[in-house]
Structure 1
């Protein structure tokens, strides 16, 4: 899942900051926080890319997270998250997220997630059509 930081510069990017409550007993960011950041970066991408009329029609839910931890993050670090989408099938879409210490090539974590598109009214899976592909 590791990808070169230079290649990631063309992907959607979102900045997060490590908070006091993110630190565990070992003095670094707890592993579940990275997962929260993966979702935060993915959500920020959707919020940025999708127009309001599309956002009112669809919702996303996570079906699977796969995450690799490479380096620890610490209090007051800024984390630069990069995200891009992979293949889709039916209502499912792959999404990739790489989390770096901001301003460096230090990859902290990388994730591959599977998301499912839902119809916002029926809450049932919705096949990914061209309107969504055009956005992502």
Structure 2
């Protein structure tokens, strides 16, 4: 895997384009890229100790409030895909921002870049709530807070 990512030290999830991912235009449907980003974010969170069970135990979750997806190139059936994520900003109170970069493995072409903003909510009510100390402890070391290279 190349080190030519937008940011240093990505969390990377590898997948393959399946037949059900391909649309009538014979390329990966745009919604699949969003799903890959979501799955990558969940796996990254779980690797930091914040899996869905932890979210429910704390009655807190990071919910998407805004997403900006820039589709750059297409992928096709059987392409191997790397989705990378970084936590690039958070205010240590309520919000966090993740960046994503999706690349095709065989030629390392960047297919998508995304920036997604999350807010901490109380699961039971859906209302915004301050980040619990457990989130600060788990996510804190993963925050980049740097500009792209």
Aligned to 1:108: 111
Aligned to 2:70: 68
Say what the alpha-carbon RMSD is for the aligned residues: 2.2
User: C-alpha distance in 1, partners of 2:84/2:106?
Assistant: 13
TM-score (norm 1): 0.83
Q: Secondary structure at the match of 1:5?
A: coil
1:72, CA displacement in angstroms?
0.5
User: C-alpha distance in 1, partners of 2:4/2:106?
Assistant: 10
Q: As a proportion of its length, which structure holds more strand?
A: 1
Cα deviation per residue 1:39-68 (whole Å; 9 max; x = unaligned)? 111111112212567432122211111011
**What 5-or-longer segments of structure 2 have no aligned partner?**
140-149
1:128, CA displacement in angstroms?
2.7
Aligned to 1:48: 47
User: C-alpha distance in 1, partners of 2:116/2:87?
Assistant: 9
Aligned length, in residue pairs = 133
Which segments of structure 1 move beyond 6 Å, counting only runs of 4 or more? none
TM-score (norm 2): 0.77
**What 5-or-longer segments of structure 1 have no aligned partner?**
none
